[in-house]
Chain A
Amino acid sequence: MAITVKFFASFREATGKEQETIEGAANVASLLEQLTRRFGDKLSRLLYEPGTNKLRDTVNILVNGRGINLLSGLRTELKDGDVVAIFPPVSGGAALTPEELERYNRQIIISGFEKRGQRKLKRARVLVAGLGGLGSPASAYLVAAGVGHLTILDAEQVELSNLNRQILHWSSDVGRPKAASAIEKLSKMNPNVELEGRPEAVTRENADELVESVDVVIDGMDNYHARYLLNEACVRRQVPFIHGAVEGFVGQMTTIIPGEGPCLRCIFPKEPPSAQVRPVLGPTPGVMGCLQAMEAIKLIVGIGKPLVGQMLLFDGGEMVFDFIQVRRDPNCPTCGDV
């Protein structure tokens, strides 16, 4: 019995044929077997998921004009005179919905930002490490701006003494994990953003995995041990790391782009001294966390100039913004050989 197989599009290209006649195939599976024997790897790569007999979802197979998904799949029986057509789906999609265009209109109309910038944001993945005074405003502004995927990480529970500055956590959240409390607020703020909460600390074991799939990391940590771990992982994986730290009325911030400027270890070879309980006025991390979100958005969109090679020093008491040069240390144990 003879079955006519018609190839279209990429299948025509892979086989070099418009059609082929196959004898003695009882069903679609055995027909495909014969075809791949005849046309080899080029065809089987288009048909099957790598290393399996599972058809790709980019394959349409029709028997006499009916999709095999509506018949019996690969077990669909064939008879003499049947015509089988093989071609890819016609499909696609734009990146932004009309709802998103309206929601983000005021930033899309910024010259140089535009729809292209918004599409980049939507594709971007950001890690906010720490959901305290810095991480709260940073993640809120990133979510409001429409970053596509945000991983938020914090192992701790909300305490009453957090609430003067950690504005994502409210009175009713005391005792809850910070990650859960933050996700609840952020998802209501902008349901378009995919949120992933990780109630864990940064460790030597998870640091690389945390940063490897993201485009930017925001430092919202409250200790230098964790900061150094993230800094090292970001240098190894070549991921931008936006450092921020606060105390009392003062804050500091810099953007670390591995290979371009100094890393955190170049700037602070040793852990700066710090009290167990540090004083903080809420607006101080509010200012710094917003600036960290600003840096992240600029890097993702490719607009403006990132704060590389300079440290911003903010003093809210005197209301002064100051900048100091920070340099790469050629002998830095973390980035010396990058």
Chain B
Amino acid sequence: MRLRIKREDLSAIERHSKQSFPLECCGLLVGRRTGTEFEVLEAVPAENVKRSPTLFEMDPQFVHAVLSRAESRGLTIVGFYHSHPGVGAYVSGKDAEFLKLWPGVAWLIISATRELIEERRAYVYEGDEIRELKIEVY
């Protein structure tokens, strides 16, 4: 399974992650899923309403607006992204709770400090387990 993302979209996400340090940032990945491939066509930054270094949450109305707009274009939300300020791009206990509520949706996690991207990984909850996705930048 893999997450395909354009270099410019990934760069925008990584910039967002660095600029938000020491807080977590978040956003949505609009695109389409075909079989085992999650194709990102657009990265949409969202506000982290928690404004916290260890928590993020998106405004549900914003999520809904992005979702509706995507579906009206025949696309969907293939994923979400959020940053971990310098602690590694792993699925935290809290992340896992919400991953499980979004089966089949990719979660891209960026570990970033103000200066540097330490790690990027992607996961999906599918078939009752969290699996790692290969990230393919094009």
Contact between A87 and B103, CB atoms less than 8 A apart: no
Contact between B86 and A8, CB atoms less than 8 A apart: no
Contact between A88 and B101, CB atoms less than 8 A apart: yes
Q: Which residues of B contact A99 (CB under 8 A)?
A: 22, 53
Which residues between 43 and 67 of chain A lie within 8 Å of chain B, taking CB atoms?
A: 58, 60, 62, 65-67
Q: Which residues of A contact B67 (CB under 8 A)?
A: 8, 85, 87
Q: Tell me the complex Cα distance, A65–B67, Å.
A: 11
Q: Tell me the complex Cα distance, A90–B67, Å.
A: 12
Which residues between 1 and 25 of chain A lie within 8 Å of chain B, taking CB atoms?
A: 8-10, 13
Contact with A along B106-131 (1 / 0, CB 8 A): 01000001000000000000000000
B102 interface neighbour in A10, A98, A115, A116, Cβ under 8 Å: A10
Q: Which residues of B contact A101 (CB under 8 A)?
A: 86-87
Contact with A along B31-60 (1 / 0, CB 8 A): 000000000000000100010111111101
Contact between A115 and B85, CB atoms less than 8 A apart: no
Contact between A90 and B64, CB atoms less than 8 A apart: no
Q: Tell me the complex Cα distance, A102–B58, Å.
A: 28
Contact between B56 and A93, CB atoms less than 8 A apart: yes
Cβ of A189 under 8 Å from chain B: no
B60 interface neighbour in A67, A96, A123, Cβ under 8 Å: A67
Cβ of A89 under 8 Å from chain B: yes
Instruction: Identify the 5 closest CB pairs spanning chains A and B, nearest first.
Output: A88-B101, A92-B95, A93-B55, A60-B60, A91-B57
Q: What are 5 contact pairs spanning A and B, CB under 8 A? A: A9-B101, A10-B103, A62-B64, A95-B93, A123-B93
